[in-house]
Amino acid sequence: MESTTRRNLMKGAAAAAVINSPMSRVLGANDRVNIAVVGAGGRGTNHLQEYVKIAGARVAAVVDVNQAAQEKAVALVEKATGEKPKTYYDMRDAYADKSIDAVSIATPNHWHVLSALWAVQAGKDVYVEKPVSHNVWEAYQLVKAARQYNKMVQVGQQSRSIPHKIQAIKMLHEGVIGKVYLAKGLCYKRRKSIGHTPDEEPPAGVKWDTFLGPAPLKPFSQNKFKYNWHWFWDTGNGDIGNQGVHEMDVALWGLGKKAFPRSAVSTGGKFLYTDDQETPNTQHAAFDFGDGTRLEFEVRGLLTLGEGGVILKGNNGGNAVGDIFYGADGVMAVDHTGFQVFKGEERKLELDVKAERGPSETGLHMENFLAAVKSRRFQDLHCDVETGALSASFCHLANISYRLGRKLAIDDQAKRFINDAEANEMLTRKYRSPYVVPERV
């Protein structure tokens, strides 16, 4: 087991990661960043809850297509701060408000890039939820825009701001388990059947056309609306692009990869359920880099156990969500509760680091974003848009392989598939006018 000295060093390093973060030097400053929160549903509510606690932030506006969500958001902010934010149905109206400094986006996936792109073009900095994009092409359009307009764009992959994960990856890169040859991301998150819901008229106060935005115009149904939009290809990316993108990001981070793989292959299916869901509830993906390293990823939404003798901690509700790294000298397992290192032929547990209690993961990540808004250095962001684009793209590459049913060869420089026109068409989408991500940003 870990020695007391090592444990104290680890705790000290984790604390230092927070104390020395840029935001710790600006909290309490007189000037606050005025933020418009776009999308006030489940994750958007969490955005509001975090920003009202940060001294460097002020929720100045709320944007949502649902009047009921707007009203709930306003009540939350007013109760916490005594101030009543403005409300908008159309995000472009909020972006036109010159008093707004930054935008925090918690819309469905298919809106992420367009809402962020419009914000950047309007002169706003952006915090945008994961995955940064609904497809590969638009992710890199947002990267271009962020650089062109010199705007901070932080992606909500908050593992990059979590002290124990920062320390785990640092130790991995320093060789704690020797040369790493394989990373495996696990998204074993229990998902029940969503059943069937009929097409019907949208509820009063819901602007359905705006909700669909870039997606094809289709009839409203409850399953295509609150949260379950994740399981439809028009609006979501399945669980590999929902919960899974966090673990995909940690896997790439641990491997030190900043480029596309040479190939991607993904198989699986939607098993047991007969319902409205389109995306798989069981999926395996493998990525080869051609350099002796490999990344594998697995989604299991049905009943399951852990992985390879290593049960990740915190598996409440039947979930095993995290990453396992395999090296020449041992294995490291990382999840939200901490990380463990197993060494040698005996797989002896040599290090068991627990996550420290402290500020929320999302709060830490937002503080880092606000610090970069003030420093004007995108290099200060823990998860800059380019990092988010890579992690999202691996999820998209897997989904394209899954949907086509074949292994795909990839050209990293071109960000395209090799000799596969059908697959290349799926790198983007047909946008519904006027909700179009432009060729020139």
* Domains by residue range for the chain, with CATH: 4-159+364-384 (3.40.50.720), 164-357+390-425 (3.30.360.10)
Q: Are 77 and 62 in contact (CB under 8 A)?
A: yes
The pLDDT tens digits for 30-84 are: 589 999 999 998 899 999 999 999 999 999 999 999 999 999 999 999 999 999 9
Task: Say how far apart CA 111 and CA 284 lie, in whole Å.
Answer: 26
Question: In this model, does residue 248 exceed pLDDT 80?
Answer: yes
Contacts of 87 (CB under 8 A, 6+ apart): 61, 62, 63, 64, 70, 73, 74
- Please report, rounded to a whole number, the percentage of residues in the chain having pLDDT higher than 70: 91
Average pLDDT of span 303-323: 73
Mean pLDDT of the chain: 92
Average pLDDT of span 173-189: 97
> How confident is the model at residue 309, as a pLDDT?
52
AA letter at 264: A
Average pLDDT of span 305-329: 77
Q: How far apart are the first and last CA of the chain?
A: 54
Average pLDDT of span 372-398: 98
Average pLDDT of span 97-125: 98
**Could you give the dihedral angle defined by the CA atoms of residues 207, 213, 217 and 219, in that order, rounded to the nearest 10 degrees?**
-40
Beta strands 86-88; 57-63: pairing state = parallel
Average pLDDT of span 255-280: 98
Residue recorded with tokens 């992985």: 307
Question: In this model, does residue 254 exceed pLDDT 50?
Answer: yes
> How confident is the model at residue 7, as a pLDDT?
42
- Please report, rounded to a whole number, the percentage of residues in the chain having pLDDT higher than 90: 87
Bigger pLDDT: 4 or 313? 313
| CA-CA-CA-CA torsion sign (222, 226, 232, 235) | positive
> Each residue of 367-380: b (16+ CB within 10 Å) or e?
bbbbbbbbbeebeb
> How confident is the model at residue 51, as a pLDDT?
98
> How confident is the model at residue 26, as a pLDDT?
38
Q: pTM (2 decimals)?
A: 0.92
Confidence band for 318, pLDDT divided at 50, 70 and 90 = confident
Question: In this model, does residue 21 exceed pLDDT 50?
Answer: no
Bigger pLDDT: 150 or 15? 150
Confidence band for 22, pLDDT divided at 50, 70 and 90 = very low
Best CA proximity match to 362, nearest among 135, 162, 76, 141? 162
> How confident is the model at residue 19, as a pLDDT?
35
> How confident is the model at residue 426, as a pLDDT?
98
CB atoms within 10 A of CB 84: 12
Strand order in the sheet with 408-411: 348-354, 338-343, 330-335, 320-327, 180-188, 294-300, 282-288, 263-269, 408-411, 416-417
Lowest mean pLDDT among 30-34, 271-275, 321-325: 30-34
> How confident is the model at residue 31, as a pLDDT?
83
Strand-pairing partners, residue 128, are: 105, 155
Confidence band for 324, pLDDT divided at 50, 70 and 90 = very high
> How confident is the model at residue 13, as a pLDDT?
41
Question: In this model, does residue 346 exceed pLDDT 80?
Answer: yes
> How confident is the model at residue 15, as a pLDDT?
40
> How confident is the model at residue 10, as a pLDDT?
41
The pLDDT tens digits for 184-243 are: 999 999 999 999 999 999 999 999 999 999 999 999 999 999 999 999 999 999 999 999
Question: In this model, does residue 17 exceed pLDDT 70?
Answer: no
Confidence band for 358, pLDDT divided at 50, 70 and 90 = confident
Confidence band for 305, pLDDT divided at 50, 70 and 90 = confident
Question: In this model, does residue 6 exceed pLDDT 70?
Answer: no
Question: In this model, does residue 344 exceed pLDDT 70?
Answer: yes
Average pLDDT of span 101-125: 98
